[in-house]
């Protein structure tokens, strides 16, 4: 194994001990991940559902807003005809 494990200043060279230490670390991290996924996230589930609902509402509002802007520009373009804007500096040298 290329993993270097040092405990109290001494390197662990036994491959079985290295394997057991790495397996223990993997199990600990799996337990922490399971705790987060199966305990903490359901406790925060209400907040997650509310934020997902808020995202949905904002997304629909943006889509409706873009459609309204496009339709308004088409209607005003047909009613008012072509419009040109010219911007000039107020004071020329």
Are 3 and 18 a contacting pair, CB within 8 Å? yes
> For the chain, what are the domain ranges?
5-80
Question: In terms of pLDDT, which residue wins out, 44 or 15?
Answer: 15
* Bridge partners (DSSP) listed for residue 6: 11
pTM check: above 0.85:
no
* Bridge partners (DSSP) listed for residue 7: 10
CA 15, 21, 25 angle in degrees (round to 5)? Answer: 140
Residue partners of 6: CB distance under 8 A and separation at least 6: 12
19-39: per-residue pLDDT in tens?
Answer: 898 889 999 998 898 888 778
56-80: per-residue pLDDT in tens?
Answer: 888 999 999 999 988 888 787 777 7
């Amino acid at each position: 194994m290329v993993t270097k494990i040092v405990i109290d200043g001494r390197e662990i060279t036994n491959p079985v001990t290295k394997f057991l230490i790495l397996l223990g670390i993997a199990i600990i991290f799996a337990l922490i991940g399971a705790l987060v996924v199966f305990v903490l996230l359901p406790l925060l589930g209400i907040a997650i559902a509310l934020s997902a609902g808020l995202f949905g509402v904002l997304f629909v509002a943006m889509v409706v807003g873009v459609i309204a802007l496009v339709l308004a520009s088409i209607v005003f373009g047909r009613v008012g005809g072509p419009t040109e804007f010219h911007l000039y500096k107020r004071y020329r040298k």
